[in-house]
Amino acid sequence: MSKEQEGSAWLVELIFQLLRPLVRMIIKAINYHQFTELLKVVYVEEAKALIEREGRGRVTKSEISMITGLDSRQFPTLIIKPNNKTVDLKSTELIKGQNLLDCPETWLLGEWKSDKGFTDKNSVSKILPINGRTNSFEYLVTKYFRRGVTVNSVLRKLEKSGNVKVIDENKVKLKTHLFIPINRNKNETIKIGLNAVVNLLETVGHNIHCEAVNDRFFQRQFWTIRIPQQLVQEVQNKLTRILKKQVTESANYIDTEDENRPVESNLMIGVGYYLFKSGYV
């Protein structure tokens, strides 16, 4: 290993640690392909912002490519499959929309719901044979899923989500075309959790680039590896009570500052609290 590789090894390890809980949280909602497409968008936008921030002049594809390592042919637009939908990277609206977040299950169910080849004369979705080269469930799986995904695995997933019902060993019926990969309660929990992660990373990023010590945001964490297993729950409960008191004090203060004041800008200021626990070393 070269000295340069040794110098960045700690960063690679930390990125692994950062990505693992994130992927664990979103793996049922966003697949690898969709996630990498999102990363391309972020890399291009952040490279553009870096060039502008450092005052290098006009932003060029060549400079963005050099910073990100992406082939310049992959921007300013990306081709989002299926159906080769083109998304303009100049607009961050694609993150809020459905282009990248639509999963293959959604496309499969959508075609089954509306395509003439899979509906009768009354536009009702047909009961499909599970296997077959055309007009079958297998055909839809082959069309929208990547190689290596089996018909049975997709069928089990859509049964579990309540989208389809197996009529007998050879046929399957569409119950609803609206696919929700995780339940609504989990959706809300993920949304809250990821917002907290974003705020924490913004604080870390600010402190890394802030040269004036007094302008850095307050950031602390404390932990121990000396708690025996039989006392973990007791310590966890005690720390939770301490945090709740601090949350109440902070919330009351923010409410006081917030009361009867008009919104002056898009600036948001606040604090976050969380308890963490990981495997013993």
Omega into 228 within 30° of 0, i.e. cis? no
Torsion of CA 3, 8, 9, 15, to 10 degrees: -170
Bridge partners (DSSP) of residue 88 are 77
What are 114-154's pLDDT values in tens digits?
888 899 988 899 999 999 989 999 999 999 887 888 999 99
Instruction: Output the pLDDT for position 38.
Output: 84
Dihedrals φ, ψ of 128, to 5°? -105, 150
Dihedral pair phi/psi, residue 144, rounded to 5°:
-105, -15
Q: Which of 181, 163, 180, 185 is nearest to 172 (CA)?
A: 163
Please identify every stretch of the chain with a pLDDT value under 70, giving residue numbers as ranges: 1-7, 74-103, 180-185, 259-260, 263-266, 279-281
pTM for the whole structure:
0.62
The pLDDT score that the predictor gives to residue 75 is 65
Question: Helix (H, G, I), strand (E, B), or coil: what is residue 171?
Answer: strand
Instruction: List alpha helices for 54-183, DSSP H.
Output: 61-68, 93-96, 104-114, 137-144, 151-160
Check: CB of residue 99 under 8 Å from CB of residue 93: no
Structure confidence by residue, pLDDT tens digits, 200-232: 999 999 999 899 999 999 999 999 999 999 999
| Contact call for residues 167 and 173 (beta carbons, < 8 A) | yes
Q: In the prediction, which pLDDT does 3 show?
A: 59
